[in-house]
Structure 1
Amino acid sequence: MFDKGPLMPFFNNRSMDDWLKSFEQFVNKGMSQFEQYAEQMSFEVDTEETTEDYRVYANLKEYNPEDIQIEVLNQGLQIKAQREEIRTMKNKRTGHFQERKAMKRTERFVQLPFMFRNEDVKAQYTNGILTIAVNKNGGEVVNPTVPIEVTNENSGKGGKGKGQRE
């Protein structure tokens, strides 16, 4: 098939099956690296529906409650987290320390299967997990931001912790 022509050197001593296997491995490795990169840029979200509400659980352990913002948008929730990261590195040659500041930002949009108002949304941050409960009674959206209540497991349910926003 490839005895003559411009592709002859490319398929030299290799069967088409070997070439396709190599190509498949190349694509799979690229996809796996992309998935790892995408996971670093985002955060885990899990959802649960009960008879009274729809719950969203977001793993935001790398962020403090004051770094997180929730907005009600188009029948869904936009969860944003942003914090400043400072890295200190030592120059091996000179022994001097250098600080680098960077802004780490991530966000996710969670579409909900029903209409709701801002007043129907309650958010709570406990030990790095943001729990958002949306009551299923529907309505018109008025205020697009949602306050986050901060609790610690030791203080019990409903306790207020540091960094609470109202």
Structure 2
Amino acid sequence: MNIERYREGLTTQLLDLLLMADPDRMAITVYLEGSTIYVARDSNVLIGVAVITHEKEYVELKNLAVKESHQQSGIAKELIATAKSYAKESGATCIQVGTGNSSLSQLALYQKCGFRMQSIKQDYFANYPEPIIENGIRCLDRVVLSALL
């Protein structure tokens, strides 16, 4: 497995990974433009992705996904470490990530990787075309976490 900067176009393989973390195809299309993308590959097959956007005051880890068959193997942690290194090299002092209130394993992962809860944006996901249900909980609120670099 290796992690590398992604410079190709939007393929079905990449979109499938991105949709695992964000079911809003339109939002993905919008934030991919101008983003920095890193992918994890295993024998030239995409198994993970991290999308980083540059905001005015910080860098945001906008999308992070690992193929189900490769989860729980440390790939997400490696992608997060890569995103943090990239952010620091680009001059940022902080990296943020947002996830749903129902994304319990993601909340745990980010905290294990040094992120701290910063804010909650209530009803952020309330108007998604289809309700998001994870762990038996309706995803309504966006939890924003940040880490100093």
TM-score by length of 2: 0.26
TM-score by length of 1: 0.24
Pick the structure with more helix per residue. 2
Bigger radius of gyration, 1 or 2?
1
